[in-house]
Chains A and B, each alone.
Chain A
Amino acid sequence: MAMRPSTLNSKLLRDIRERWAQLSTIGFVVAAGIAAFVSLQATFQSLEQSRDAYYDVYRFGDVFATLERAPDGVAERLEEIPGVTLVHPRLVAPVRIPLQIDGAAASRQPPIGQVVGLPPDGEPALNGVLLLEGRRVEAGRADEALLLEPFAERTGIAPGDTIPVVMEGRLREIRITGIAAAPEFVYPAPPGQAVVPDDERFAVLWMDRQAVAPAFQMEGAFNDVVLRLSPSAVERQVLAEVDRVLEPYGGRGAMGRDRQRSNYFLEMRLDQLQALSGFVPILFLGVAAFLLNLVLSRLVKLQRGEIAALKALGYRDREIGGYYLKLTLLVVVLGTFVGLGAGAWMGRGLTGFFTSFFRLPLLEYSVPFSVVGPAFLVAAVFGLLGAFATLRGILRLSPAEAMRPEPPERYRPTILERLGVGHLFGPPGRMILRELGRRPVRLLLSSLGIALALGIIVVGRFSADAWDVILDRHYQQAYLEDVSVTLTGPVDARGIREVAALPGVVRAEGVRVTSARIHAGLRWRDVPIYGYREGDQLRRLMDAEGAVLPTPSGGMVLTETLAEILEVGIGDSVQVQFREGRAQTRGVVVTGTVDEMFGLQGHMRILELNHHLGEGPAVNTLILTVDEGSMAPLQARLAQMPVVQEVTEKMAEVRRVDELTAEPQRFLVLILSFFGSVIAVGVVYNNARVALSVRSRDLASLRVLGFTRREISGILLGEQAVQVALAIPAGLVLGRVFTGLLMRTLDPEEYRLPLMVSLETYAFATTVVVAAALVSALLVRRRLDHLDLIGVLKTRE
């Protein structure tokens, strides 16, 4: 008993040495599956842990509120709210930074400035600051500031530099003492309603609160507050209480982390990554398991003679089974280790990319070893199934029978031929069809594998397609202006005329924008409300289908999703709590809904909005069309006007959106195309290798009969081509399905993208998969050139 296994063990070792090339192909399949699994899981977990650690160490708040102005004493009342453990009142104020920024036209948008007050020791109790470079600001100095990193990076501003800052109309020179980052600005989204917040345009300045307060008439008062909650606190209740306390002080509505802008965008991206990191590896493991099954069953089949000989020598089935168990496990274990190493290494690279992309300090990198166990089990089970299904068939035969060569495989005419179209194919074509017809399950799984590869490549380009639609609808069809100008406050018709008279302005129109809380029963949302003048042409109210709606009158048109959230319909009345002017709450009738692609908004006629706000005819945003060539001087003129808060050139914003979305897009396209190609190569190459091994005798016989290399390659690779051809339409459909699934990770309150996959995307994905298949085919074709023509004539198989 002890002797025999040890002899088998030596055979095992020698077999491995002899077949290492083939075995390493199998191992590689396992390794690739495990590596994809581990690297994406590690990336996602590390990002989450880094975010959590960052939020934790730098004391990111749980609840955030802004208000007009409240005396410091009000903060104590916030502390009394049940569930609140810490309150950090502070000063946050918009400033203008009249800085001419060099660079590409796309990024030449003027900065959006914001001052955030710091306590004397520079360490806020909540929403801490991570100093990356330079030193902290000195207590009591009103001319020193820390600058947020992305903006510093883009402008090249370094510690020691001085920048001009306009605070409440007064220009000051501020010295930058250090560059900083903060959990509340991981994704630095400036306030406003931009489609994509422009992180590099946002200049956050941290300054000593007490020193800078007089500039904003905020001595002994705060206009922004951050709260920490106890773990048992009910956020909804706290939010309501905070709003109640702050209401008399111009509170604009408290929000939890889920609505904090930076965290919101970070979460959205992490959610997408999570969807991918769960989905792609499962795909990989599935395909790897299938290939493992395929290749191992072939390996066992090739050893039919040896198995029969062992049986003839008196080895028991169990012992022979043990041999294959060891062989399979060895390959799977080694593949798992290699995959683990490769996955950990790839995951570190990926995590590095994403942390810098998300601007998260990389605080934690960990490989989730817990996911390896299940992955290994999946690989082992499928490998063993492949090996043992075939082994059982061989062991069932008597040794004498098993030692004889296999009888010719049984074939029959395929469905196509029975339908009477067989004559369309010559004998080589029929060989291909019958070979495929004999193994329908394998054909199905192979095609499915390739289709999945194609599908994930389609997903990679989904955001590119979605953004194309948004940019077209929003900026080309709905927004017809060249420049929009946000004013510091409302102006009357004279203000519009003043700007219209500037050189280069062709047409000037005004819009009134205000933020408000819309209630319907217990449901509410904080949204912007837009007021339009009847007869204006530059802004159009447009639905997702691209239809232009008339200017509302006698009430308000709501974004369809908003109406659904509030559970109101046309004719219902909502309570609108305005925050500007007299800050009244007014009842407004819903006159319609509009199916918009992003955001939640209300739209109404401008005079009605002015009326609700208790003001005369007034606008606070100007939209202009501009003469070609006058853009730069006009922008310079506008920037000098005291009433101007922010100037946005539409085309510059379009380019910027393009830029902002391009990098993650390129990355996603690259990584998913890579994964897709690996899957396609894995399936086609392994299939072709197995087919070659099964059919090398037939192919060599054909060569002897005078068939050329090209002709026999056509027969072998034709099978693969059919699989790929079947996979393409299926893959395109799958791509659309996956895209729909991924879109579900988008917050419906923010984005409602049409499920559009462009022809370019389909063409791109198909091209990548076909190219991957061709590469695999070429690899196998090289082997066909070295077929042993003479050997096959002397053996049966």
Chain B
Amino acid sequence: MSGSNPDTDTSQTSSEHGGKAVLEGRGLTRTYRMGEVDVHALRGVDFSLLEGEFLVLVGASGSGKSTLMNILGGLDRPTEGTVRFRDKDLSRANDRQLTEFRRLHVGFVFQFYNLMPSLTARENVALVTEIARDPLSPAEALDMVGLGHRLDHFPSQLSGGEQQRVAVARAIAKRPEILLCDEPTGALDYRSGVVVLEVIERVNAELGTSTAVITHNAPISEMANRVVLLHDGQVDEIRVNESRTPASDIRW
């Protein structure tokens, strides 16, 4: 929609959130050796997630968006380039430091929920609140995702959408600075997907958590403050939405 510039430094793009970057990557490349060929998943990406913003990262499968999120979330290290979380350099962090980063600062939501089947909804959340510094109570977190009435159900007793909302509650219960959601609606039907997006939207608004949602589902980008389009391992376009569409109005 708005002017595209592949070389734009996203951190300079201001928004109403003051423009201070929580997470910032510069010149990120990531090369995998797959059998006998090198796969260039990222080819020099500059990226930032600003304080309190709702960012949607859109791209087709294979565009490198998951690789980028893995690097930003401290699950992987870039082949070249730097990642900073506030004033910490994550690209040089060792395994222990990355674990600490994920443990204290990042909330993850995945396509397949990744809940512990042997724990109830409340316990899946407690799993994280027990190792966090200033968490919400599991009941509060589950209340926030609208599951206050299903605290003691096991994953096998919950629908897919409910399981994903437990995953969101688990991600936000530690009051993370960053919420990273990788295809959160990918395994859900439309109705459940919208409910999950509404929950994420509310968390962003009420807790002020800087949120990045990764999706190949373009309509979801209408929810965002900013949209980053990724194509073939590079940033194709960055766009600021003048007005955001509420999740409940999104159709796909």
Contact = CB atoms under 8 A, between A and B. Distances in A.
B172 to A, nearest CB: 12
Nearest to A715: B116
A182 B99 CA distance: 74
Given A435-B118, A701-B116, A707-B103, A411 B111 contact: no
A548 interface: no
B123 interface: yes
Given A705-B102, A706-B100, A796-B112, A427 B130 contact: yes
A434 B70 CA distance: 31
Nearest to A433: B118
B123 A427 contact: yes
A708 B114 contact: no
A314 interface: no
Contacts of A705: 102-103, 108, 127-128, 170
Interface-central residue, B99, B104, B110, B124, by most chain A CB under 10 Å: B99
B127 A704 contact: no
A705 B156 CA distance: 21
Interface in A766-797: 789-790, 792-796
B154 A427 contact: no
A409 interface: yes
Contacts of B110: 701, 793
Contacts of B237: none
Interface in A418-473: 426-428, 430-431, 434-435, 438
Contacts of B117: 408-411, 698
Interface string B20-54: 00000000000000000000000000000000000
A411 B156 contact: yes
A426 B126 contact: yes
B93 interface: no
Contacts of A697: 114
A412 interface: yes
A57 to B, nearest CB: 67
Contacts of B76: 790
Contacts of B96: 708
A703 B116 contact: no
A703 B99 contact: yes
A407 interface: yes
A411 B99 contact: no
A430 B131 contact: no
Nearest to B157: A410
B66 interface: yes
Nearest to A434: B118
A410 B154 contact: yes
Nearest to B128: A705
A59 B211 CA distance: 95
A702 interface: yes
Contacts of B111: 793-794
Contacts of A792: 114
A47 B76 CA distance: 63
A438 B76 CA distance: 35
A50 B76 CA distance: 67
A703 B182 CA distance: 17
Nearest to A703: B99
Contacts of A698: 114, 116-117
Contacts of B131: 706-707, 711
Interface string A403-419: 00001111110000000
A704 B127 CA distance: 13
Contacts of A789: 75
The range of chain B's interface size is 35 or more
Given A426-B130, A706-B99, A790-B70, A431 B118 contact: yes
Interface string B121-162: 001101110110000000000000000000000111000000
A408 B156 CA distance: 5
B102 to A, nearest CB: 4
A374 B242 CA distance: 80
Contacts of B199: none
Interface string A677-704: 0000000000000000000011001111
A793 B156 contact: no
A38 B75 CA distance: 51
B106 interface: yes
B240 interface: no
A108 B108 CA distance: 79
A167 B117 CA distance: 88
Nearest to A409: B117
Nearest to B152: A413
A438 to B, nearest CB: 8
A428 B102 contact: no
B106 A706 contact: yes
A488 to B, nearest CB: 81
Contacts of A438: 118
B119 interface: yes
A793 B182 CA distance: 9
B204 to A, nearest CB: 20
Contact of A428 (B66, B101, B127): B127
Given A426-B130, A427-B130, A793 B99 contact: no
B103 A701 contact: no
A96 to B, nearest CB: 79
A435 B154 CA distance: 13
B115 to A, nearest CB: 8
A703 B76 CA distance: 12
Interface-central residue, A410, A435, A793, by most chain B CB under 10 Å: A793
B164 to A, nearest CB: 13
Contacts of A709: 99
Interface-central residue, B102, B118, B127, B131, by most chain A CB under 10 Å: B118
Contact of B156 (A409, A427, A703, A796): A409
Nearest to A414: B118
A539 B156 CA distance: 77
A410 B156 contact: yes
A406 to B, nearest CB: 10
Contacts of B99: 703, 706-709
A690 to B, nearest CB: 16
Contacts of B124: 427
A279 B49 CA distance: 68
Contact of A794 (B66, B106, B118): B66
A794 B163 CA distance: 16
A185 B131 CA distance: 73
A434 B104 CA distance: 27
Given A411-B156, A790-B76, A704 B118 contact: no
B156 A407 contact: yes
Nearest to A412: B154
A704 B75 contact: yes
A104 B166 CA distance: 76
A705 B127 CA distance: 9
A411 B118 contact: yes
A706 B126 contact: no
B112 A795 contact: yes
B112 A702 contact: no
Nearest to B96: A708
A153 B126 CA distance: 73
B45 to A, nearest CB: 17
A701 B182 CA distance: 14
Contact of A427 (B100, B104, B119): B119
Contacts of A428: 127
A125 B32 CA distance: 86
Contacts of A701: 110, 114-116
Contacts of B126: 426-427
Given A410-B154, A706-B106, A793 B114 contact: yes
The 8 A-B residue pairs with the shortest CB-CB distance, nearest first, are: A706-B103, A701-B114, A706-B102, A434-B118, A408-B117, A427-B127, A411-B118, A408-B156
Given A411-B154, A794-B111, A796-B112, 5 more contacts: A427-B123, A434-B119, A701-B114, A704-B108, A708-B103
Interface of A: 407-412, 426-428, 430-431, 434-435, 438, 697-698, 701-709, 711, 789-790, 792-796
5 contacts: A426-B126, A427-B130, A706-B104, A706-B106, A790-B75
